[in-house]
């Protein structure tokens, strides 16, 4: 099988301006992946499937990853003018101060495709796509017209992560019911608080049961006060 760099070169030769990036996997598995741009991803996918040498005609797995907004605080050395009284005379002195700055790195939703070739007997080739953010710009092109097996798994990702697949033939919730509003696999999902009866709770469940009891008590006291 071609190396990832060769595949990248082949894609760029076939689809001009595809803008494919290689995402390194620093772990021991070292399964590096190709990050596609949503604009050209559909063309690239068709090329990967139809190319005689690659012939990646089997999509084994589609999954989602949620990358929440990250708040990064870092220490920066800043030089600025400070007015000081030195020897009874007011002076402006340049001073270097260490300051903690916080910035928010916007999060995104990521979809990962694992491809194999049944005819060439090679794989996996891993594709990634990222949405612009996690709230309103969550559209990605659907791969279902290219690999039919993506249909249900893309529906699952739509259901659990909230990625909207453009061009999907039947984009409905698959595990949760119609009318359900949340996306349970997102990291900021808040589960319904129904830990009212926990006779043998421990660890995380115990903490949740205690939190539930505290909330119930607070509500009861509030009700009694009114």
Partner 1 sequence: MAVDQELKIELGKQGVFVTTLQELYNWGRRNSVWPMNFGLACCAIEMIATTMARYDLARFGAEVFRPSPRQADMMIISGTVTKKMAPQVVRLYNQMAEPRYVIAMGACAISGGPFKQGYNVLKGIDRYIPVDVHIPGCPPRPEALLEAFITLQKKIDGQSLTGEDRPRFLNSEAPGEFAVPEPGEHDLEPAANKNVWTVPVVIR
Q: Work out whether 136 is an interface residue with partner 1 (CB under 8 A).
A: no
Q: Work out whether 172 is an interface residue with partner 1 (CB under 8 A).
A: no
- Chain positions 25 to 84 lying near partner 1, rule: CB under 8 A, are none
E-state strands within 87-204: 89-105, 108-117, 122-130, 139-141, 164-166
Q: Which residue number, 28 or 179, has a Cβ lying nearer to partner 1?
A: 179
Structure tokens at 4: 């990832």
Of 176, 211, 214, 218, the one binding partner 1 by CB under 8 A: 176
Is 162:183 a contact under the CB 8 Å cutoff?
yes
Judged by CB under 8 A, how many residues of this single chain contact partner 1? Answer: 21
Structure tokens at 182: 């949340």
Q: Which residue number, 152 or 189, has a Cβ lying nearer to partner 1?
A: 189
Is 144:154 a contact under the CB 8 Å cutoff?
yes
- Chain positions 183 to 222 lying near partner 1, rule: CB under 8 A, are 184, 189, 191-192, 194-199, 204-205, 208
Query: What's the alpha-carbon Rg for the chain, to the nearest Å?
Result: 26
Cα gap 100→103, rounded to integer Å: 10
Which residues contribute to the site for partner 1 (CB under 8 A)? 175-182, 184, 189, 191-192, 194-199, 204-205, 208
């Amino acid at each position: 099988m071609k190396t990832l760099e060769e595949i990248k070169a082949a894609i760029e030769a076939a689809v001009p301006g595809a803008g494919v990036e290689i995402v390194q996997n620093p772990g021991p598995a070292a399964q590096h992946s190709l990050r596609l741009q949503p604009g050209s991803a559909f063309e690239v996918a068709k090329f990967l499937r139809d190319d005689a040498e690659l012939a990646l005609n089997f999509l084994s797995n589609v999954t989602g990853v949620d990358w929440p907004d990250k708040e990064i605080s870092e220490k920066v050395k800043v030089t600025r003018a400070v007015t000081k009284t030195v020897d009874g005379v007011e002076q402006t002195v340049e001073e270097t101060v260490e300051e903690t700055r916080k910035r928010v790195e916007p999060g995104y939703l990521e979809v990962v495709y694992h491809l194999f070739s049944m005819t060439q007997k090679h794989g996996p080739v891993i594709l990634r796509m990222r949405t612009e953010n996690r709230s309103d710009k969550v559209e990605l092109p659907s791969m279902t017209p290219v690999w039919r097996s993506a249909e249900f798994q893309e529906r699952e990702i739509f259901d659990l992560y909230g990625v909207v697949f453009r061009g999907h033939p039947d984009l409905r919730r698959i595990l949760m019911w119609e009318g359900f509003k949340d996306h349970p696999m997102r990291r900021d999902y808040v589960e319904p608080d129904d830990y009212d009866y926990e006779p043998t709770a421990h660890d995380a469940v115990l903490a949740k049961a205690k939190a539930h009891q505290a909330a119930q008590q607070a509500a009861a006291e509030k009700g009694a006060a009114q």
